[in-house]
Amino acid sequence: MTIDIRQASHPDAVRHFTTVELRRHFLVEGLFSPGEVNLTYSHIERFVIGGAAPVGAPLSLPAPRSLGTATFLARRELGIFNIGGPGLVRVGARRFELAHRDALYAAMGAGEVTFESQDGGEPARFYLLSTPAHTAYDTVQVRLAEAKSMVLGDQATANRRTIFQMLHPDVCTTCQLVMGMTKLDEGSIWNTMPAHVHDRRSEVYLYFDLKEDSRVFHMMGEPAETRHLVIANEQAVISPNWSIHSGVGTRAYTFIWGMGGDNIDYTDMDPVTMDMLR
């Protein structure tokens, strides 16, 4: 197990970051190493961002020293999305079979978490996002078909996409975690443009389903001070409350978004109009 600690940065400082510094602070690489759990602890929203790629023996989710608790879920809630082959997640005494793109909400106090692949030829890849919690709700599986979905954008603006809200108040109860998946139609490449910010919540994007030779140019920064990160398949980006988060790919892709903060209201966004962008 590895854990990488990220400190929060003031936007006045970020304005002067080089490309290397921007990537070191906001990009999360190497999430899925076969047979390992890799975690990043961000002081933005106290997110824990991780990947578990079990091959052979089951993998346990450890409680790193940064959490200061005996088990990972003692004071936290966790969203688990399977972006690989069929997988098995055990939470305490319960077991959940997660097909490709299924999600699981693991509640505070639910016990130890372990990950397994069910098909050695097509291992599971579990993306993890966790925030501090205050109440023990139910641990529930959310299949992609059970998501609340909406189609946004159109082909003329190359942003036709389906948003699947999965850990969302209309689907399951969480403390502060709100998560889902956005899939772009073939030929569409823009997400979240026009852009927005939401000062009440921070967000993490995991881009996947990207071909080896494709990249997403992820836009970040204050609306009048935008910067970009060039992102490859299965890399994540941390988006602080003051930052836009939008991307344009060299072809279609899918991403998992997840938020934590003061509310769980997906619609609580401050729109950024085109004339505000610099």
Residue with nearest beta carbon to ligand LADIRMRS: 182
DSSP secondary structure letters along the chain = -EEEEE----HHHHTT--HHHHHHHHEE-----TT-EEEEEESSTT-EEEEE---SS-EE----GGG-SSSGGGSEEEEEEE-SS-EEEEETTEEEEE-TT-EEEEPTT---EEEEES-TTS---EEEEEEE-SS----EEE-GGGSEEEEE--GGGT--EEEEEEESTTT---SS-EEEEEEEPTT--EES-S-EE-TTEEEEEEEES--TT--EEEEES-TTS-EEEEE-TTEEEEE-TT---EEEESS--EEEEEEEES---TT--EE--GGG--
- Is 188 a residue that touches ligand LADIRMRS (CB under 6 A)? no
- Is 163 a residue that touches ligand LADIRMRS (CB under 6 A)? yes
Nearer to Zn ion, 120 or 271 (CB): 271
Choosing from 191, 235, 241, 254, the residue that interacts with ligand LADIRMRS (CB under 6 A) is 191
Contact string (CB under 6 A) for ligand LADIRMRS, positions 237-266, x = contact: --------x-----------x-x-------
Give the shortest CB-105-to-ligand LADIRMRS separation in angstroms.
17
Residue 165 binds which of ligand LADIRMRS, Zn ion, none (CB < 5-8 A, kind-dependent)? none
Contact string (CB under 5 A) for Zn ion, positions 203-232, x = contact: x-----------------------------
- Is 182 a residue that touches ligand LADIRMRS (CB under 6 A)? yes
# residues contacting Zn ion (CB under 5 A): 1
Judged by the rule CB under 6 A, the positions of this chain that interact with ligand LADIRMRS are 161, 163, 182, 191-192, 203, 245, 257, 259, 269
